[in-house]
Structure 1
């Protein structure tokens, strides 16, 4: 049975105060908090078997290697990848996207076209702009409507035999919109295009099945789902990963090196040059274990209750406008108070111990679409409570009174 008060005991940081007030942490879309079960795994690694992996015959190296590769298996099973070697450890979502973009530099031609959406994070815009600059390919954009949804009829018009790549986030970090990626993938494959889905915002709320989705690439970050920063994963279909050249050169990713020629290691090591974030990978596996023990269905149900409650309470405040009103969204609310800059609202909330995000959330094109400088974004996790929502609402009312 889901018990939020019991769950909150797993997160030491939730017991602290900020500016003399109990911490109300509502910036989960930027980074989630870390339970003691994951913290203990990190401490255990550095306390008991810290060693480099894949290279040593000594006991510590073998123990670290086993733990690291077991984490890869955990991730494979979590996303239902067909093969363990289709899981590439990265430093995070941005690293995974850039790895794929770099690989396609040798595959695209001038007449080719690349499609992204208007709802993307900068990390799923800039790499593709750079790719198009290198190759001469054309970047096209799926437009959005006022509800913060992608216009699928316009997407259909953008697709052609020249479309080679489609990139879209599963969930918008700025608005919480859940995109119809099943439809996007099916339509892209119909014209022979590959699809990369940015799952940074979806994986904390939804358990993806990459085989069922038939997606070609899927990326995410550990720190969005109770794990450490500086760690993430790229899933890629084996056929695509074999086509793409290595992203970086160095140790681990080689089979044989001479001054005449170098041959590359098999998957997944072909894309994992250098000493990895070993502890990060192991802790990522522990974070997945932790969230699966709670259950993603239970998490989704509870977070939806928080979203509905917070939406209702915030909309009772006169002059408050929510951006992103899709019927299909996750526990993110972006809003503004009429005539008040979001930064000023966020500053007052911080004085009350309430952590929210303000600004354009690395999604400036969305803010340009709405003709606003940014928003206040409250993003909820399964360890938040309705009483924390009440604190947010009270804080926003106070900010309005002080700044109006």
Structure 2
């Protein structure tokens, strides 16, 4: 059998990863950004294939914390009840620690949101994938996208896939969406232009500890270090510490990851060190970030969503909310372009970029400065007030989104 032209019956019953379907959209990446985009496109009646090289249900690096805009969108999509039912605790207070000073802020009900959540990615991603499949999107975990297919004009017309056995085939689509993270293959293959970039990148270490009684989000700011304790599923808290890469590298030199992590937390706040005195549930991991980058998110036959198009330092704790926001903006643009007879779909995708940039650009310099870890407490407070204002404006914009992309007949 030719792997480039899989048998139709096998494709229909799922025994072969390829197909002869001409998809409306192929989404590369099946996590928050990709699964959300697929869900919304499928709900509008489009034929959607999602390809992700990772295992179904696998974990990934994440700050977990949903901001109000992200919770609002999950509620609008009818998925917030699933998140709450997963055991992710409702968060109604955030405490900001500046050295020995702290300030607690209670979440006021607004825009239909009275609590925040920070689900594990094994939970949130699965909820979005399940909802996407229920809507009719098809997910394939395991195959990797190695390149993009193009027509004679250079327009992207599909994706070239390879499975673990080395077989390759081409899936064709009107649009290929890169939702494959900050190292996006799709963005690299189309040479997506960078339209804004930051200058600073922090490094982080994180792990999970029992903390069933943790009262909401806790954010810490200290001498060239930052940190947080985020309540998540199974009575655990994700506890992280961040700072300049050289600082974390020095702390980890000749020490086990858990000991290096605890030593950094002790420098930041004694309470955090106490919280992590017991052995972690699983490994402590180190993660090096990269400077903020905002890419042009569309071109002939392709589009970008999530970290592939808009990356900000994890200290923003806004990555998941960004991904949900941009998935809805992109899906609405794609559906509008598909429904407009005789109109260039690129016009709608330009509108997607314009809306995304209005919300993303004001956040970038604030988060870039936070990522530098060169601030004092007074500046950190000012930066966080600015970030809060940007997020409030974003919530207002999300409230004005259409309820859902209209279904195409």
Q: TM-score range by the shorter chain?
A: under 0.3
Say which structure is richer in helix: 1
Say which structure is richer in strand: 2
